[in-house]
Structure 1
Amino acid sequence: MSQIRIDELPGPLTLTLSPSPCPSPTPSFPTRHVRLALSLVPLLLIGAWAAVDWRAMHDGTARLASADPWWLLAGVVFTCLCWASAAVTRQGAIPERLPPGPLLASQFAAGAANHVLPAGIGAHAVTLRFLQGRGISLARATASLALYSLVKPIAKLVLILAFLLAFPGTLLIGQLVPDGQTLLLGAVGVLVGLAATAVLLTVVRRLRRPLLEFVRTALTDARILHTRPSRVLALWGGAVAFPLFQAGVLASVGASLGLPLPWAHVVFAYLAASAVAGAVPAPGGIGPVDAALVIALVVFGAPMTLATASVIGYRVLTVWLPLLPGAIVLSALVRRKVL
C-alpha cells in the first residue's frame, strides 16, 4: 500500500507517493505446524525409547551411585571429547569451512538422533540437513557422509593393529576373533549385498547416472581433501580419536567401580567388540555392542558382575545423560532452521 503525503508549500499543490515498506512474509499456518511437529518428533522418540529401556538406566544409575566420582568425572570429560572429535572428523570430510559452534551443536544433537535410528542413520540425517543448510549440494553432502563412514572403520582397524604390535602376546586376540561360521556368514552377507546392488543397477537404469555422479563427486572431494594437510589431520585424527575417547569412557567407569583390568586391555576390548558387533544395525549399537563388550571384558579376566556394571555405566554416561539435552538441542536447531 502506498501512502499519500500532501506538502503545503508555496506554489502548486504537490502530491508525493512514497512506498511503504513491504511487510516480512510470515510462515503459513500449515508450515508453522509442520515445523513444530518436526521439532517435537525427537523428544517423542527419545521418550518412547527411554520407556522401553528404563530398567537399564535404573540399574546403571544405582551401580554408579557407589562409584568413585572423580573417575566418573573423567568419563564425562571423555564423553564430551567424543562430540568434539566427531565434529572435527565431519569438518575434515568437507572442503568448505564450517562454523565450529553450530557444527559442534549439530553433532551433539546427532548423538541423540543416533540412538533412535539404527546404523547411524539418525546422525547422518542430522548432519546432512546441517550441510545442506550451509549451502552444500545434496551430492557433495552425501559424498561427505560416505567418506566419513569409510574413514571410521579404517581408523579403528589401524588402532587394533597398532595395539597388537604394541602389546604382543598380552592381548587375547584369539578368543575375541569370531569363529569360522560367523566369518562365513559375514562374507556371504557382503557378497549378497554387492550382488543385490549390481542387479538393482542393471534392472533400474535410472539409478546408474545418479550413482555415477555420486561416485565422481566423492572421488573428486576426497582427492581435494587429501591435498590439504589441515583437512587430512582433521579427518583421520578425528576418526582415530573418537574410538579412543569412547574407550576412555569405558575404562574410566571401570576404574570407578574397581574393574581389575589394565587400561590397555579395556581399550582393546572396546575396539575389538565395537568392530565386530558394530556392524549390527541397532540404534547406536546398543544391544549387540553391549553384549560384545561384556564378553570381551570377561575374556580378559574381569568378573561378570563388574564387567556388566561397567558397560551399563558406560551407556549411562554416553547415552542417557546427554540424551534429553541432545534432543532439546535437536529440536532447537530444527525450530531455528539450522537443520
Structure 2
Amino acid sequence: MLVAAVVLILSLPGIGEIRERFSSADPWWLAAAAVCRLMSMLGFVRALWSVFDRVMPWRRALVLGLAEQGANVLVPAGGAGGPAFGAFVLTKIGVPADLAARRHAALFLITSAVTFVAIFAAGLLTTLHILPDDVGILATLLPAIGAGIAIVAAVAFGKSDPPSEPSGGRIKHLWFRVWSFVHAGARTSVALLRQRDPLLIYGAVAYYAFDVASLACVFEAFGGGGPPIGIFILAYSLGHAGAFLPTPGGVGGTEGGLIGMFVAYGTPIGLAAASVLAYRVFQLGLPAIFGAFALLRVRHTLAHPPPREIIEARFAAIVQDDEE
C-alpha cells in the first residue's frame, strides 16, 4: 500500500502544489475528518447489529463490525471482503451458515444501495437546479437515470421468484448456486427494509454520509474550493467505482477514480489530489487500526467460542423468520 501510494503521488502532475497544500492544511478540519470517519464506522456497526435483529450482544456486534471493516481494507473484494469474513466468523461460532451468509449479503446490498439512492437524488436535484450546479445537464442527469434504473431492477429482482435448479451440467449448477445466493440476499434486503427498522436505515445512511462528510472536511482543511454539494456527492459516489479493482483497500483504483471524477466535475487537480490522498489516510488507516484490535478479540472468541446451544437458541427466531 505504501509503495502504491508513493508511485501514485510521484506520477501526479503538480506535485509542488500538493506539498504546499499539505504543509498549510488546517489541523482542526483534519481532526473533524477523522471524527466523521469514526462515525461512519459506527454506522456500519449499527447496520450490522440491526441486520441480525439485534440478537447478538452490542459489544460483539461492535467487535465484529470493526473487524469486518479492517478486512475490507486488506481483502481485495470491492467491499465484499468484510461481510464474507463476518459470515465466516459467525459460522465458526455456531450461527447457521445460510443465515450468516444471507444476512451479510443483505448488509452489503443495503449499504451499497444507499450509494445509488444518493446518486439518484443528487443527480436529479442538481438537474432540476434545486441544488446548485456548475456543470452540464448530462453530467448530472445520466448518473441519476442510471442509478434509478439500478434501484428499480434490484427491487424487482429481490421480489421475483427464486430461480429453478437446472437439470444438469456442472457450469449450470455453479451459476445456479451463485444466482440463488445473490437472489436470497436481495430478497432478504427487501424484507429487512420493509420492517423499517430505524437503526438499520440510520446505520446504512450514516456509513455513507459520514464518509462523504470526512472527504468534505479534508477539502475544507486544504482551503475549500470543492464543487457544490450535489456535484460533490456525484463525484464521490462515482469515483469510488475504482474500489472494485482487485487491490487491497482499492489502493490505486480508488484514488485514481476519485481524483479523476472531481477533476472531471471541475475541481483543480492539485486540490483534488491533495484532498483525496489525505482522505484515504483516514479511510484506510482508521479501519486498519481499530480492525486490528478487533481481529485479536475475534481470534480469542474463535479459540473460546460460547456454547453452541446458546448461539443456536439466540438465532432460532431469525432462522424461522427467514424460512417463512
TM-score by length of 1: 0.66
* Cα shift at 1:254: 0.7
2:272 paired with 1:295: no
Q: Distance in 2 between matches of 1:250 and 1:222?
A: 28
Q: Residue 69 of structure 2 contacts residue 82 of structure 2 at CA under 8 Å; is this kept in 1?
A: yes
Name the structure 2 match of 1:284: 249
1:135-154 equivalence runs, <5 A: 135-154=94-113
Gaps of 5+ in 2: 144-162, 306-324
Gaps of 5+ in 1: 1-48, 180-196
The match for 1:244 among 196, 209, 225 is 209
Q: Residue 112 of structure 1 contacts residue 322 of structure 1 at CA under 8 Å; is this kept in 2?
A: yes
Q: Deviations along 1:136-186, whole A, 9 cap, x unmatched?
A: 21101000122122223322111111112332351636348999xxxxxxx
Name the structure 2 match of 1:112: 70
Q: Distance in 1 between matches of 2:224 and 2:194?
A: 44
Q: Deviations along 1:234-288, whole A, 9 cap, x unmatched?
A: 33332233222111111100100013124503233102222x4344343323322
Over 3 Å counting, the alpha-carbon distance change for 1:323 and 1:225 in structure 2 is closer
2:138 paired with 1:174: yes
One-letter identity of the residue aligned with 1:273: G
2:288 paired with 1:330: no
Q: Residue 56 of structure 1 contacts residue 312 of structure 1 at CA under 8 Å; is this kept in 2?
A: no
2:238 paired with 1:255: no
TM-score by length of 2: 0.69
2:86 paired with 1:122: no
Q: Residue 94 of structure 1 contacts residue 221 of structure 1 at CA under 8 Å; is this kept in 2?
A: no
Q: Distance in 2 between matches of 1:71 and 1:85?
A: 21
Over 3 Å counting, the alpha-carbon distance change for 1:96 and 1:200 in structure 2 is farther
Q: Residue 89 of structure 1 contacts residue 236 of structure 1 at CA under 8 Å; is this kept in 2?
A: yes
The match for 2:195 among 225, 228, 240 is 228
1:192-207 equivalence runs, <5 A: 202-204=168-170
Over 3 Å counting, the alpha-carbon distance change for 1:334 and 1:160 in structure 2 is same
Q: Distance in 2 between matches of 1:63 and 1:281?
A: 30
One-letter identity of the residue aligned with 2:192: L
2:127 paired with 1:161: no
Q: Distance in 2 between matches of 1:165 and 1:209?
A: 37
Q: Distance in 1 between matches of 2:233 and 2:2?
A: 28
Name the structure 1 match of 2:317: none
* Structure (1 or 2) with the greater helix fraction: 2
Q: Residue 37 of structure 2 contacts residue 210 of structure 2 at CA under 8 Å; is this kept in 1?
A: yes
Greater CA drift, 246-255 or 98-107: 98-107
Q: Residue 93 of structure 1 contacts residue 225 of structure 1 at CA under 8 Å; is this kept in 2?
A: yes
Between Structure 1 and Structure 2, how many residues are aligned?
A: 271
Over 3 Å counting, the alpha-carbon distance change for 1:122 and 1:136 in structure 2 is same
Q: Residue 176 of structure 1 contacts residue 296 of structure 1 at CA under 8 Å; is this kept in 2?
A: no
The match for 2:59 among 75, 80, 101 is 101
One-letter identity of the residue aligned with 1:174: L
The match for 1:86 among 25, 40, 44 is 44
Tell me the secondary structure at the aligned position of residue 337 of structure 1. helix
Q: Distance in 2 between matches of 1:323 and 1:117?
A: 11
Q: Deviations along 1:24-52, whole A, 9 cap, x unmatched?
A: xxxxxxxxxxxxxxxxxxxxxxxxx4466
Larger radius of gyration: 1
Q: Residue 57 of structure 1 contacts residue 320 of structure 1 at CA under 8 Å; is this kept in 2?
A: no
2:283 paired with 1:318: yes
Identity %: 25
Tell me the secondary structure at the aligned position of residue 333 of structure 1. helix
C-alpha RMSD over aligned residues = 3.8
